[in-house]
Amino acid sequence: QAQLVESGGGLVQAGGSLRLSCVYSGGAFGFAGMGWFRQAPGKERELVAAISGIGASKRYADSVDTRFTISRDNGKNTVYLQMNSLKPEDTAVYYCARARAVTVVTSRDAYDIWGQGTQVTVSS
């Protein structure tokens, strides 16, 4: 019933920008913290950005801070990840997920619903 659907991935040149969208339905997502994760081949899945239930608090991975911005519009049931100044090392499958709490959640194990992911490829 509850599901997340990511979109907006694609191929972009280094230095370019993409905006990922995550549309959620079938659950109380507006009260839950949300996060964006990414996983590259041979690498661990890592948190990119997290946001609290109403968007008042945000956290970013050190590797993306100042380049990425997480936001949400609960009226549109959507969480966004604006990615600027993209680098080849940003290449990965990006996943949207719902946390078990209303706060900012940084632990991967505290997320209970995941989307299927969207591929982001950054060329040199």
Go through 30-45 and write b for each residue having 16 or more CB atoms within 10 A of its CB, e for each that does not. eebbbbbbbeeeeeeb
Q: What is the pLDDT of residue 65?
A: 77
Reported confidence tier of residue 94, pLDDT bands at 50, 70, 90: very high
Share of the chain above pLDDT 90, in %: 88
Task: Count Cβ atoms below 10 Å from residue 92 Cβ, excluding itself.
Answer: 22
Task: Count Cβ atoms below 10 Å from residue 80 Cβ, excluding itself.
Answer: 19
Average pLDDT of span 32-37: 96
Closest CA to 108 of 20, 52, 48: 48
Reported confidence tier of residue 2, pLDDT bands at 50, 70, 90: confident
Q: What is the pLDDT of residue 56?
A: 92
CA distances 110 to 10, 105, 113, Å, are: 28, 7, 10
Taking 90 as the threshold, does the pLDDT of residue 26 lie above it?
Answer: no
Q: What is the pLDDT of residue 29?
A: 72
Show the CA angle centred on residue 86, arms to residues 84 and 90, nearest 5°. 125
Nearby residues of 66 by Cβ (< 8 Å), 6 or more positions away? none
Span 110-121, pLDDT tens digits: 999 999 999 999
Average pLDDT of span 73-95: 96
Q: What are the backbone angles phi and psi of residue 104, rounded to the nearest 5°?
A: -65, 130
Taking 90 as the threshold, does the pLDDT of residue 31 lie above it?
Answer: no
